[in-house]
Amino acid sequence: MKTLVVAMLAMAMLVGCNSEPTKPAEPEKPKAAELLSGRAAFQKTFIQARHWATDAQPYRLESQPNSDSKGRDGKAAIWRASFGSPGQMRATKPFIWSGSNASDAPSRGVSPGTEDTYSPTNNNTRIFDSAFLKVDSDQAFDVAQKHGGDKVLDKNPDLPVIYILDFNRENELIWHVIYGSDRDSAKLRVAVNASTGDYMHVEK
């Protein structure tokens, strides 16, 4: 009996020695920003747009610089895609993809915008077939760099680069690579054919 009691006491002491105080749970580390090229972000928004309208077609895609991304290398943390639906009383709806947790960004994932109407004859809202989009924004950036963009960024290392994709009057899908925060104040704007990857011209 004494032997049993001694053995039980020894086991209790052993358990007590090995037990460690419970460590507080470590706070989750914030996710790093996700940067996508235009085509990758477009595909994410296109899926959501087709849930909104089965005949939804894009007419504009544009990046938005923020504290997580200046738009270098053809990638951004925020992309906004605008879609038109000819069958739904000519309705239009934007969808925004965000890969950023920054305070100057929408919540992560794809968020729908406000539905509106559009005119199919308006050059600013001409829908296009996504099959025309064969050249991604990173390739467009490389082309623009070879036509003056590299010199602009050498002189202005903090300058954001934004990308706008739309149809022109000649039925060509164009990447507009814009060195600056908007078209009006840009230091350089280069047009690249989004179907062939060819340099087109410097925009005035």
Q: Where are the domains of the chain?
A: 36-202
Beta-bridged to residue 85, according to DSSP, are 91
Distance, in Å, from the CA atom of 162 to the CA atom of 141, rounded to the nearest integer, reads: 10
User: What are the tokens at 110?
Assistant: 């794809």
What pLDDT was estimated at residue 121?
A: 81
Nearest of 65, 80, 81, 74 to residue 36 by alpha carbon: 74
The predicted model gives 93-100 an average pLDDT of: 97
CB–CB of 174/113 below 8 Å?
Answer: no
pLDDT at 119: 83
**3-state SS record for the chain:** CHHHHHHHHHHHHHHHHHCCCCCCCCCCCCCCCCCEEHHHHHHHHHHHHHHHCCCCEEEEEEECCECCECCHHHEECEEEEEEEECCCCCEEEEEEEECCCCCCCCCCEEEECCCEECCCCCHHHCCCCHHHCCCCHHHHHHHHHHHHHHHHHHHCCCCCEEEEEEECCCCCEEEEEEECCCCCCCCEEEEEECCCCCEEEECC
Nearest to 60 by CA among 162, 203, 187, 152: 162
The 10s digit of each residue's pLDDT in 11-59 is 545 445 545 556 666 656 768 999 999 999 999 999 999 999 999 999 9
Regarding predicted confidence, which is higher, 9 or 114? 114
Count of residues making up the chain: 204
Percent of the chain past pLDDT 90, that is, above it, reads: 75
Q: What is the pLDDT of residue 138?
A: 98
Lowest mean pLDDT, pick from 26-40, 60-74, 124-138, 154-168: 26-40
pLDDT at 118 over 90: no
What are the tokens at 182?
A: 């908007």
- Mean pLDDT over all residues of the chain? 89
Q: What is the pLDDT of residue 26?
A: 63
Q: Check residue 5 and give its pLDDT.
A: 44
